[in-house]
Structure 1
Amino acid sequence: MTTLTIENHLSAGYLDAALRADALGGLTSVPKRLRPAWFYDARGSELFEEITRLPEYYPTRAEREILVAHAGDIAAAAGAQTLVELGSGSSEKTRLLLGAMRSEGTLSRYVPVDVSESALMSAAHALRADYPELAVHAVIADFGAHLSELPRMGRRMVAFLGSTIGNLVPDERAAFLLDLYGTLSPGDALLLGTDLVKDPAVLVAAYDDAAGVTAEFNVNVLRVLNRELGADFDPAAFAHHALWDAGNEWMEMRLRSLRGQSVRLPAVDLVAHFAEGEEIRTEISAKFRPERVRDELAASGFDLRHWWTDRAGRFGLSLSFRR
């Protein structure tokens, strides 16, 4: 049966301290902001899974289309024995890569990396029946802080899918890619998912669906703050707002205060004041052009050798190597 190793790099209280720091820093900044990491409590994760099935939300389907068509090409080009997945969650799309690597005859180990122990355990146990020969080395970690702790076992391919890298502003992306490059060995590969620039109407619809699921997902972060920090946000007093920033070429999600109000957050000794119409930025999602992907990877030392898109050219997967 599948062997399972669990490695935990999160100290007791790590996530609680991170949430407190983000809430205090973000809600006292101008403009106010929160990191999208806090969307994903149990309810938020359920809502996001629902979002991925919406007709307006193309990224998940587009990325899966590429993997269905090219997982074999990716496995052959990478030649990796170990698949490392950052922010693995349920690891569903990763099965396409695992299957291709097994067919290629190279697969020996899967390293899912996530802050959620429950998500890692669920994914690991789901793989047991289908991959009895697979060694799973689950790493409970914040990939933004613990890249240097990635297990060094054989030739590796790091998968960073879903265009999660788009949640980082350019300086953060550059720092992340440099850190990742530094922890890889020559010949290791990076499989990177990037959502591409397209018609703004298509982009806005993907983040503001007609059924209101994304709006509920966005507002749910206030319930997370209420539960974890003893805050007294009234979710009904905030409205979801999605917009395309053409200058930065990214989507933003915001929560707009519908009235002047003050919100108490006892756990961080803060009273946050909101004017009517004032917004909290809860997410950016950068959209990329192929040349920008290549340039940002090259600036960090990566050699981009392969590029695939879905048939409609909505999403890109790149395979780059540590020189």
Structure 2
Amino acid sequence: MSAFTLVNHLDQGYLRDALAADARTAFTAEHKWLPPKWFYDAEGSALFTKITQLPEYYPTRRELAILRARGAEVAAATGAETLVELGSGTSDKTEWLLSELSTAGTLRTYVPVDVDAGTLTSAAHRLIATYQDLSVYAVCADFEVHLKSLVGVPPGEATGRRLVAFLGGTIGNLTPAARAAFLAGLRATMAPGDGFLLGADLVKDPRRLVAAYDDAAGVTAEFNRNVLRVLNRELRAGFEPEAFEHVAIWDEENEWIEMRLRAMRDMTVGVEDLDLAVSFAEGEEMRTEISAKFRRAGLEDELRRASFTPAAWYTDPAGDFALSLSFA
């Protein structure tokens, strides 16, 4: 019999307060920057959905192709009774894992983790309509902050072997130090034998990489500027989004894409809720995202340093994207 439970670990105003803290740090730094998680209000999420459908943006299609082709192998290797997904969003791609785990006869519980309670609820109701014996224990949380809350969920139940999925290449949004801390923190929540399925975009021709983050239709540019609209709404800032140019570059040394917003003229922007006046010189850039790209040896080394044991490496035929399966 299916069931749905939603647990919210985010206090009222948590996201707004977290945005305020990040914005204050960003705007008072020598080089301005913002974490990419603030792209994803309703408008930003809709724009990102459009991005995933663009011809230049291959990662979503490649990852889905791997899940379709190798999902049964993942299910057989993990024997997971509980699937935990970090940053689950609409859980669209996850359905391939749920289907294979259900077919294998092991799956009992799905634990999607995301910051948006509405998205979690909508996805859960869609899934329990399909999987009649699935219990969905949704957790509204910031997984970078609340990893410990995932220990032993759902509470009071034997979860059996767990598979933690972190898809979409989102791991690349973290700097190497932040990745190391995240992986170590995640490993500390897992029991021996639990699996970890990690989606990672791979190093390739820089021209293809830049094109994926600077599409001809300008959708990614609007997505990038949308973070300024979030700041305007949530912190009563006075940004003019069209006064900033979208920039995407390949950093060869760090092997990551950087997205930036470049001021097209000198300006001073008030952020009323922070009591800040933020100055931009013409041509000054604010970093809004890094998206690291990986090589197998390097990523598996990072996993080993966090005490994971890499077990399988799945790629699409073109070698554009990978799913790494490791065990705790």
Q: TM-score band, normalised by the shorter chain?
A: over 0.9
Partner of 1:18: 18
Decide which of 247, 260, 278 is 2:284's aligned counterpart: 278
1:243 and 2:249 aligned: yes
CA separation in 2, counterparts of 1:2 and 1:32?
47
CA shift for structure 1 position 128? 2.1
Partner of 1:4: 4
Unaligned runs of at least 5 residues, structure 1:
none
Decide which of 167, 180, 191 is 1:185's aligned counterpart: 191
* Identical-residue share of aligned pairs (%): 61
CA shift for structure 1 position 196? 0.2
Decide which of 270, 293, 307 is 1:287's aligned counterpart: 293
CA shift digits 1:181-204 (9 cap, x unpaired): 000001001000000000000000
CA separation in 1, counterparts of 2:203 and 2:70?
22
CA shift digits 1:257-284 (9 cap, x unpaired): 0000000001111110000000110000
Partner of 2:72: 72
CA separation in 2, counterparts of 1:62 and 1:271?
43
5 Å-filtered alignment, 1:192-203, equals 192-203=198-209
- How many residue pairs get aligned? The number is 322
TM-score where L is the length of structure 2: 0.97
Partner of 1:296: 302
CA shift for structure 1 position 2? 2.5
Please tell me whether the aligned partners of residues 151 and 189 of structure 2 are also in contact (alpha carbons under 8 angstroms): no
Please tell me whether the aligned partners of residues 128 and 136 of structure 2 are also in contact (alpha carbons under 8 angstroms): no
Question: What secondary structure sits across from 1:312 in the alignment?
Answer: coil
Q: Pick which of 121-130 and 95-104 moved more.
A: 121-130
Give the letter for the 1:8 counterpart.
N
CA shift digits 1:89-122 (9 cap, x unpaired): 0000000000000111101000000011111011
Partner of 2:260: 254
CA shift for structure 1 position 125? 1.1
Give the letter for the 1:254 counterpart.
R
CA separation in 1, counterparts of 2:22 and 2:121?
27
Partner of 1:51: 51
CA shift for structure 1 position 139? 0.3
Partner of 2:81: 81
Runs of 4+ in structure 1 deviating by more than 6 angstroms, as ranges, are none
Partner of 1:41: 41
Please tell me whether the aligned partners of residues 151 and 190 of structure 2 are also in contact (alpha carbons under 8 angstroms): no
Please tell me whether the aligned partners of residues 128 and 135 of structure 2 are also in contact (alpha carbons under 8 angstroms): no
Please tell me whether the aligned partners of residues 32 and 286 of structure 2 are also in contact (alpha carbons under 8 angstroms): yes
CA shift for structure 1 position 151? 4.6
Unaligned runs of at least 5 residues, structure 2:
153-158
1:97 and 2:97 aligned: yes
Question: What secondary structure sits across from 1:38 in the alignment?
Answer: helix
Partner of 2:142: 142
Partner of 1:310: 316
CA separation in 1, counterparts of 2:48 and 2:126?
20
CA separation in 1, counterparts of 2:264 and 2:216?
20
CA separation in 1, counterparts of 2:204 and 2:30?
30
1:207 and 2:213 aligned: yes
Question: What secondary structure sits across from 1:301 in the alignment?
Answer: coil
Give the letter for the 1:236 counterpart.
E
CA separation in 2, counterparts of 1:50 and 1:117?
22
Give the letter for the 2:115 counterpart.
V
TM-score where L is the length of structure 1: 0.99
Question: What secondary structure sits across from 2:72 in the alignment?
Answer: helix
CA separation in 2, counterparts of 1:16 and 1:227?
10
5 Å-filtered alignment, 1:124-163, equals 124-152=124-152, 153-163=159-169
Decide which of 163, 170, 174 is 2:180's aligned counterpart: 174
1:222 and 2:228 aligned: yes
CA separation in 2, counterparts of 1:26 and 1:315?
31
Partner of 2:238: 232
Question: What secondary structure sits across from 2:198 in the alignment?
Answer: strand
CA separation in 2, counterparts of 1:276 and 1:102?
56
Question: What secondary structure sits across from 2:130 in the alignment?
Answer: coil
Please tell me whether the aligned partners of residues 214 and 220 of structure 2 are also in contact (alpha carbons under 8 angstroms): yes
Give the letter for the 1:104 counterpart.
A
